[in-house]
A and B are shown apart, each in its own frame.
Chain A
Amino acid sequence: GDSVTQMEGPVTLSEEAFLTINCTYTATGYPSLFWYVQYPGEGLQLLLKATKADDKGSNKGFEATYRKETTSFHLEKGSVQVSDSAVYFCALKIPQGYQKVTFGTGTKLQVIP
């Protein structure tokens, strides 16, 4: 079945450090890929997405590239801030049927001043 695997956390970084959160997927067909962010005490928000191979999604300094050859969608940011502390979820959506979204386990990021 469809699945998403992302690196376990928590990830602790100093402010202005470089961030990478790995995400790989298994899916039939050609899924759309997403990163969602959940700030403390809040619901999930879409951070960025990519709908086809080689697409790069970007938002708020974060970016991720849809790599079909490695079935990956790693999240990166060049310089993290304390306000980026949150849980990040990688997810995929199969375009057929109900188009349900399958999530990874989430990676907690803590950025310290």
Chain B
Amino acid sequence: GAVVSQHPSWVICKSGTSVKIECRSLDFQATTMFWYRQFPKQSLMLMATSNEGSKATYEQGVEKDKFLINHASLTLSTLTVTSAHPEDSSFYICSARQATNTGELFFGEGSRLTVL
């Protein structure tokens, strides 16, 4: 099946720094990618939808300037957590939709961010 890879899988940073997480579709083109945040014992919260070559669509309550999303190519989307704070610590998961009729979603392994 199609593979989506996230990098890094685990990152620790100091408060006030910025962290970039990459999401790549390895063997297919993804016209749309989604970024989710997963809290302990809670569901995945959709943060934003990104389409290649256009601005991301953010869900209500998600700070656009805090969570910068770039979808520069059909195989790569990045999430940058700017000026990270401890409350940003979480598990971030991306998913990519194939540019086919089925449009099936494939998920990355997730990236655990810990802000000290």
Q: What residues make up the interface of A, taking CB atoms closer than 8 Å to B?
A: 36, 42-46, 89, 98-106
At the interface, yes or no: B71 with Cβ under 8 Å from chain A? no
Q: Are B43 and A43 in contact (CB under 8 A)?
A: no
Q: With contacts A100-B49, A102-B46 known, is A46 near B105, CB below 8 A?
A: yes
Q: Are A44 and B93 in contact (CB under 8 A)?
A: yes
Which listed residue (A44, A100, A104, A106) contacts B107, Cβ 8 A?
A44
At the interface, yes or no: B101 with Cβ under 8 Å from chain A? no
| Inter-chain contacts of A104 with B (CB < 8 A) | 43
| Inter-chain contacts of A89 with B (CB < 8 A) | 43-44
Give the A-B pair count, Cβ closer than 8 A: 44
The closest CB in chain B to the CB of A6 belongs to B43
Q: Are A101 and B34 in contact (CB under 8 A)?
A: yes
Distance between Cα atoms of A106 and B93 in the complex (Å): 15
Q: How many Å from the CB of A30 to the closest CB on chain B?
A: 16
Q: With contacts A99-B103, A100-B34 known, is A43 near B108, CB below 8 A?
A: yes
Distance between Cα atoms of A45 and B105 in the complex (Å): 9
The closest CB in chain A to the CB of B34 belongs to A100
At the interface, yes or no: B24 with Cβ under 8 Å from chain A? no
Q: Are A45 and B46 in contact (CB under 8 A)?
A: no
The closest CB in chain A to the CB of B110 belongs to A43
Q: Are B109 and A42 in contact (CB under 8 A)?
A: yes
Q: How many Å from the CB of A24 to the closest CB on chain B?
A: 14
Q: How many Å from the CB of B53 to the closest CB on chain A?
A: 15
Distance between Cα atoms of A104 and B45 in the complex (Å): 9
Q: Are A98 and B42 in contact (CB under 8 A)?
A: no
| Inter-chain contacts of B6 with A (CB < 8 A) | 43
| Inter-chain contacts of A100 with B (CB < 8 A) | 34, 46, 49
The closest CB in chain A to the CB of B32 belongs to A98
Q: How many Å from the CB of A106 to the closest CB on chain B?
A: 6
| Inter-chain contacts of B51 with A (CB < 8 A) | 98
Q: How many Å from the CB of B38 to the closest CB on chain A?
A: 9
Which listed residue (B34, B57, B109) contacts A43, Cβ 8 A?
B109
